[in-house]
C-alpha cells in the first residue's frame, strides 16, 4: 500500500485473496457465521490483518451491523468499595473474560445515581451506547425490571428474577437444591432439631434458600428456632440456639455465622463440638474468619460468563428467553458434624 492511505476491508481482501464479505465476517461475524468459513481462510485473513496493522473503522462497523460491540454492565450497588468487592468481583471477572472472547468491549454504567438511588433509567443515562446490558445486584428495582422486560432493549439479569410482567432472561445459582442438599447431609448425620437464621425474602436468592430448607422439613426433623432479624446481637442469637436445643443452625449470611461463632468461642463453646453450623453460600474472603464453614459454592464467575454469552446471543438475534440455573456444589468445611445429644 502506497503512502499513508488508510487500509480498507477491500485492501485486506485483495491481500488475502478472498472476498470483502469474507473479511467482514472474520471481523464482525457471529460464531455461527464464522463456522462456515474454512479455518485456513480465517487464519489467512487474520494473518494479513495482523501484519498490516489494520484497524476496523468503528463507525463503518456500526453502520454495517447496527452494533457498537459494547456490552453495558449495571450494578444496583457500587461495585468496587471494599464492602461490595467480595460480592461483585467474581461476577465481573467472568463477564470480562467472556466479553473478550466474544470480541465485545464493556461499559460500566456508573452515571445513574449513587447508593440506593441508582437507577438504570435515570435522567441522562447512556444505556443505548451499549448494544445490551447485564444487570446485577443483591436486589433489583421491580419497576425498572418490568420496564426492561416490556421494552426492546436486550438485557440479561445475573441471578434468578421473577415478578416482572413477563419472563426475565437470567443466569443464576440453584440455591434451592444447594440448600436442600446441605439439609439432607445434616439429617444423615443425625440432626433432628434445626435452626434457621436469616430472612426468607424478598430477593429471589433468599426465597430459594428458604424454599430448599423448607422442602427438607419432613416428619423426621423439627424447626426449633427461626430468626428473621439476623441483625440481633450475636449473644442473643446464641442464647436462643442453646435454649431451644438446636443441634445445627443454618445461616443465610456468612457474616451472621461469623458473629455467632465468635460469641460461642468466647463462652468456651466450639463448632461442631457443641453445635453444628452451615452457611447457605460460599466464602469469598477466607480471612474474615479462621473457621471454614460448611456451605455450598456459588459459581459467580461462571454465572458472569454464561450471562455475557447469553446477552451476546440476544443482541445477535436469538429470540428465545433463556433461564439458566447453575449447580451450587457443596463445600465440606469443618462446622458440620454428627448431632450432639442434649441432656
Domain ranges of the chain: 9-65, 70-173+300-326, 175-298
Residue 3: its pLDDT value, please?
A: 44
Which residue has 452515571 as its cell numbers? 111
Q: CATH homologous superfamily of domain 175-298? A: Response regulator (3.40.50.2300)
Mean pLDDT split into 10-residue runs, the chain, 343 residues: 63 90 78 79 89 66 67 85 69 95 91 66 79 90 91 94 91 97 96 95 92 89 88 92 96 92 96 96 64 94 97 91 96 94 59
For residues 336 and 248, the answer to whether their CB atoms sit within 8 Å is: yes
For residues 213 and 243, the answer to whether their CB atoms sit within 8 Å is: no
CATH tag, 9-65: 1.10.260.40
Strand intervals (E) in 198-300? 222-227, 248-251, 276-279, 295-296
Bridge-based pairing state of the strands 105-108 and 276-279 = unpaired
Report residue 228 as a C-alpha cell: 428473621
Instruction: Taking the CA atoms of 120, 121, 124 and 130 in sequence, report the sign of the dihedral they define.
Output: positive
For residues 264 and 238, the answer to whether their CB atoms sit within 8 Å is: yes
3-state helix, strand, coil in the chain (%, to 5): 45, 15, 40
pLDDT in tens, 171-216: 999 999 999 999 999 999 999 999 999 998 888 999 999 999 999 9
Report residue 195 as a C-alpha cell: 435452626
In a 13 Å sphere around the CA of 49, the CA atoms on its Cβ side amount to 16
In a 13 Å sphere around the CA of 188, the CA atoms on its Cβ side amount to 7
Residue 231: its pLDDT value, please?
A: 77
Residue 73: its pLDDT value, please?
A: 95
CA-to-CA distance for 147 and 251, rounded, in angstroms? Answer: 34
Report residue 327 as a C-alpha cell: 449447580
For residues 48 and 15, the answer to whether their CB atoms sit within 8 Å is: yes
Q: How far apart are the first and last CA of the chain?
A: 90
**Which CA distances in Å does 220 have to 66, 184, 189?**
60, 11, 13
> Are 70-173+300-326 and 175-298 in the same CATH fold?
yes
Sequence-ordered list of residues with C-beta below 8 angstroms from that of 89, at least 6 positions apart, any chain: 79, 284
Bridge-based pairing state of the strands 330-331 and 295-296 = antiparallel
For residues 200 and 206, the answer to whether their CB atoms sit within 8 Å is: yes
Return the DSSP state at 286. G
Residue 17: its pLDDT value, please?
A: 93
β-sheet with 132-136: strand ranges across = 105-108, 70-75, 132-136, 155-158, 170-173, 323-326
CA-to-CA distance for 334 and 340, rounded, in angstroms? Answer: 15
Residue 146: its pLDDT value, please?
A: 92
Candidates 249, 269, 259; CA nearest to 182 is 249
Give the three-state DSSP class for 164: coil
CATH number (3.40.50.2300, 2.120.10.90, 3.40.30.10, 3.90.940.20) of 70-173+300-326 reads 3.40.50.2300
CA-to-CA distance for 263 and 269, rounded, in angstroms? Answer: 9
Amino acid at each position: 500500500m502506497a503512502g499513508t492511505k488508510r487500509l480498507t476491508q477491500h485492501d485486506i481482501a485483495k491481500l488475502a485473496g478472498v472476498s470483502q464479505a469474507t473479511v467482514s465476517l472474520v471481523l464482525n461475524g457471529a460464531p455461527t457465521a464464522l463456522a462456515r468459513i474454512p479455518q485456513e481462510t480465517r487464519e489467512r485473513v487474520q494473518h494479513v490483518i495482523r501484519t498490516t496493522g489494520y484497524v476496523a473503522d468503528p463507525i463503518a462497523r456500526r453502520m454495517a451491523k447496527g452494533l457498537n460491540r459494547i456490552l453495558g454492565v449495571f450494578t444496583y450497588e457500587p461495585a468496587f468499595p471494599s464492602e461490595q468487592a467480595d460480592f461483585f468481583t467474581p461476577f465481573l471477572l467472568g463477564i470480562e473474560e467472556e466479553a473478550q472472547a466474544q470480541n465485545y468491549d464493556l461499559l460500566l454504567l456508573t452515571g445513574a445515581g449513587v447508593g440506593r438511588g441508582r437507577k438504570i433509567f435515570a435522567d441522562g443515562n447512556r444505556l443505548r451506547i451499549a448494544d445490551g446490558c447485564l444487570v446485577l445486584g443483591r436486589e433489583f428495582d421491580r419497576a425498572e425490571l418490568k420496564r426492561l422486560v416490556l421494552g426492546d432493549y436486550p438485557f440479561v439479569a445475573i441471578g434468578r428474577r421473577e415478578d416482572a410482567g413477563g419472563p426475565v432472561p437470567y443466569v443464576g445459582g440453584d440455591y434451592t437444591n444447594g440448600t436442600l442438599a446441605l439439609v439432607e447431609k445434616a439429617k444423615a448425620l443425625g440432626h433432628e432439631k434445626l435452626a434457621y437464621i436469616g430472612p426468607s425474602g424478598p430477593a429471589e436468592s433468599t426465597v430459594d434458600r428458604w424454599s430448599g430448607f423448607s422442602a427438607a422439613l419432613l416428619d423426621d426433623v423439627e424447626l426449633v428456632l427461626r430468626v428473621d432479624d439476623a441483625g440481633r446481637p450475636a449473644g442473643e442469637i446464641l442464647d436462643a440456639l442453646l435454649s431451644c436445643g438446636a443441634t445445627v443452625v443454618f445461616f443465610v449470611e456468612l457474616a451472621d455465622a461469623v458473629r455467632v461463632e465468635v460469641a460461642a468461642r468466647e463462652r468456651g463453646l466450639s463448632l461442631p463440638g457443641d453445635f453444628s453450623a452451615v452457611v447457605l453460600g460460599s466464602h469469598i474472603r477466607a480471612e474474615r474468619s479462621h473457621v471454614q464453614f460448611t456451605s455450598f459454592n456459588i459459581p459467580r464467575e461462571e454465572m458472569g460468563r454464561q450471562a455475557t454469552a447469553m446477552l451476546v446471543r440476544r443482541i445477535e438475534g436469538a429470540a428465545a428467553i433463556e433461564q439458566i440455573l447453575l449447580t451450587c456444589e457443596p463445600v465440606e468445611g469443618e462446622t458440620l458434624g454428627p448431632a450432639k445429644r442434649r441432656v
